[in-house]
Amino acid sequence: MVLPRETQTVPYIHPTAIVDPSAQLGSDVHVGPFAIVEPGVIIGDGCRLDARVVIKSRTVLGSGNEIGEGAVLGGSAQHLQRMDPGGMLVIGENNRIRENATLHRGYANEAVTKIGSNNLIMVAAHVAHDCQVGNNVVLVNNVMLGGHVQVDDRAYVGGGVGIHQFCRIGRFVMVGAQTRITQDVPHYLLVEGAQAQIIGLNQIGLRRNGFTADDMLQLKAAYRVIYRQGLRWSEVLEQLARDFTTGPAALYHEFLKTGKRGFVQERRISRKALLKIADPATADEIGEESPGRKADAA
């Protein structure tokens, strides 16, 4: 948190820390024991660097960021061919980056790895070169983002998830723990399993974030267009562009139109795989966990 102007103080630098004279530190910055801040780094007001944090050159931190012990920010891209000096790492405001996380700067000299604001990046998570992470994102312990991955606002990525380079994770997506993502995940969906399968809308997350009953009905209708009607891809895009011009589902057309890696597909369960323990007529929710609903939909 940034202190009021009248109470702001000069940076505190622990005697064992090494801060290059060319680094720019804002007001009320705290640099802990054995931390290293390299030349040219810019750190905004109210940031806290705990013990053994390393901030590499060509890194910019906004105000109010908290960096946990052992984290390394702005390391060079893990690439077979080294690019000197390489790109930049730009981090927004009020992020919490926990212990031993690693965030790399862009690969090419003009490239930027960008982290938005109000994110929680947990222990030992890795954000590779040229990634774009939005706002209010949660990356749980040991998440691995390959190069050029895009994670949109308010996505939640569970522990141990690996995301292949160039993949995109849409807004309000929830990815279950230890899932392997090799294709794009459209907005608002819930995906899980070692082979990554869509299991419906992220209903709980959407409702917690203020989506109305009308919003949910619209998203269910768009979901059926994408995954349930058996349309050709050109027909899916045409119907989305025609029928969902406003509201949350309006984001689907542009996201799907610009995909280059394909999209994670819906989980389908054999009609014989589960007993019907609920009346399908009463289990009409997309993503409903009723075995009867899944058997009927398959």
Half-sphere exposure of 241 (CA within 13 A, CB side): 10
* Annotated catalytic residue 45: no
* Pairing relationship of beta strands 174-175 and 18-19 according to DSSP bridges: unpaired
* Annotated catalytic residue 104: no
Are the C-beta atoms of residues 293 and 280 closer than 8 Å to each other?
Answer: yes
Burial 18-55 (b: 16+ CB within 10 A, else e): ebeeebebbbbbbbbebbbbbebbebbbbbbbbbbbbb
Are the C-beta atoms of residues 90 and 67 closer than 8 Å to each other?
Answer: no
For residue 5 the two structure tokens come to: 């102007």
Looking at residue 7, its amino acid is T
Are the C-beta atoms of residues 70 and 80 closer than 8 Å to each other?
Answer: no
Active-site option among 147, 158, 176, 200: 147
Helix, strand, coil share of the chain (percent; to 5)? 20, 25, 55
CA–CA gap between residue 32 and residue 185 (Å, rounded)? 39
Angle at 128 between CA 53 and CA 153, to 5 degrees: 95
* Annotated catalytic residue 247: no
Nearest residue to 286 via CA among 234, 207, 236, 216: 216
For residue 60 the two structure tokens come to: 């910019």
Active-site option among 30, 104, 126, 129: 129
Looking at residue 73, its amino acid is L
Q: How many DSSP H helices and E strands does the chain contain?
A: 5, 28
Looking at residue 119, its amino acid is N
Active-site option among 130, 170, 184, 253: 130
Annotated catalytic sites, by residue? 129-130, 147
